[in-house]
Structure 1
Amino acid sequence: MLHFSETCGREDIKDQIKSVASADPVHRKLFVRGLSRNTTSETLCDAFRVHGEIEEGAVIYDKATLRSRGYGFITYKHIESTQLALKAPSKLIDGRMAVCNLACEGLTGSSTTPDLPQRKVYIGGLSPEVTSEMLLNFFGRHGEIEEGSVAYDKDTNESRGFGFITFKTVEAAKKAIDDPQKSLGGRTVIAKLADSHKGRTAQTQLPSSMVPMALPMGPGYPHPGKAHPSTAPGGYVYPQMVAPYPDSSYSSPPAAPAPYQTQPQFPYPSASSMKDSFGPPPTTHMGMGGYPYYMAKQ
Structure 2
Amino acid sequence: MNSQTQVESRGTTMEDLKKRKLEEASNGQISSSPEELKLLLDPLSKSQLVDLLSKLGSQYPSIAEEIKSVASADPVHRKLFVRGLAWNTTSETLCAAFRLHGEIEEGAVIVDKTTGKSRGYGFITYKHMESTQSALQAPSKLIDGRMAVCNLACEGLSGASTTPDQAQRKLYIGGLAPDVTSEVLLSFFGRHGEIEEGSVAYDKETNESRGFGFVTYKTVEAAKKAIDDPQKFLGGRSIIVKLADSHKGKMIQAQLSTAVVPIALPLAAGYPQQPGKPPASATPVAYTYPQAGATYPAYPGPPTGPAPYSSTAPAPYPSQPQMPYSSATVMKDPLGLPPTPTVGMGGYPYYFAKQ
CA distance in 1 between partners of 2:161 and 2:229 (Å): 24
Name the structure 2 match of 1:37: 87
TM-score under structure 1 length normalisation:
0.70
Cα distance, 1:140–1:260 mapped onto 2, change above 3 Å: farther
Moved more, 6-15 or 157-166: 6-15
2:234 is equivalent to residue 184 of structure 1 = yes
The residue correspondences of 1:205-224 to structure 2 (distance < 5 A) are 212=262
C-alpha deviations, 1:220-275, integer Å up to 9, x for none? xxx994599xxxxxxxxxxxxxxxxxxxxxxxx99511234212349xxxxxxxxx
Name the structure 2 match of 1:61: 111
2:297 is equivalent to residue 256 of structure 1 = no
1:51 pairs, out of 87, 101, 104, with 101
Cα distance, 1:4–1:142 mapped onto 2, change above 3 Å: farther
1:156 Cα deviation from its structure 2 partner: 1.3
The residue correspondences of 1:27-176 to structure 2 (distance < 5 A) are 27-176=77-226
CA distance in 1 between partners of 2:214 and 2:65 (Å): 43
Cα distance, 1:178–1:5 mapped onto 2, change above 3 Å: farther
Local SS of the residue matching 2:254:
coil
Q: Write the letter of the residue equivalent to 1:39.
A: T
1:126 Cα deviation from its structure 2 partner: 0.3
TM-score under structure 2 length normalisation:
0.59
CA contact 2:80–2:123 (8 Å) conserved in 1: yes
Cα distance, 1:72–1:213 mapped onto 2, change above 3 Å: closer
CA distance in 1 between partners of 2:156 and 2:257 (Å): 40
CA contact 2:83–2:122 (8 Å) conserved in 1: yes
Local SS of the residue matching 1:192:
strand
Q: Write the letter of the residue equivalent to 2:79.
A: K
Name the structure 2 match of 1:196: 246
CA contact 2:150–2:160 (8 Å) conserved in 1: no
Q: Write the letter of the residue equivalent to 1:156.
A: T
Name the structure 1 match of 2:351: none
Local SS of the residue matching 1:56:
strand
CA distance in 2 between partners of 1:117 and 1:227 (Å): 62
1:80 Cα deviation from its structure 2 partner: 0.6
2:81 is equivalent to residue 10 of structure 1 = no
Consecutive aligned runs of 4 or more in structure 1 exceeding 3 Å deviation:
3-9, 12-15, 203-206, 211-215, 223-228
Corresponding pairs, count = 231
CA distance in 2 between partners of 1:28 and 1:186 (Å): 45
Q: Write the letter of the residue equivalent to 2:208.
A: E
CA distance in 2 between partners of 1:162 and 1:257 (Å): 82
Local SS of the residue matching 2:231:
coil
CA distance in 2 between partners of 1:81 and 1:116 (Å): 27
Cα distance, 1:58–1:212 mapped onto 2, change above 3 Å: closer
CA distance in 2 between partners of 1:90 and 1:199 (Å): 27
Q: Write the letter of the residue equivalent to 1:202.
A: A
The structure, 1 or 2, with the larger RCO (C-alpha pairs under 8 Å, 6+ apart) is 1
1:182 Cα deviation from its structure 2 partner: 1.2
Q: Write the letter of the residue equivalent to 1:257.
A: A
C-alpha deviations, 1:93-125, integer Å up to 9, x for none? 011000000001112322221111000000000
Q: Write the letter of the residue equivalent to 1:264.
A: L
Local SS of the residue matching 1:66:
coil
Unpaired segments ≥5 residues, structure 2: 1-24, 29-51, 266-284, 287-297, 302-323, 338-355
Unpaired segments ≥5 residues, structure 1: 216-222, 229-252, 267-298
CA contact 2:71–2:129 (8 Å) conserved in 1: yes
C-alpha deviations, 1:2-38, integer Å up to 9, x for none? x855799932555423211211111100000000001
Name the structure 1 match of 2:71: 21
CA distance in 2 between partners of 1:53 and 1:142 (Å): 35
Q: Write the letter of the residue equivalent to 1:71.
A: Y
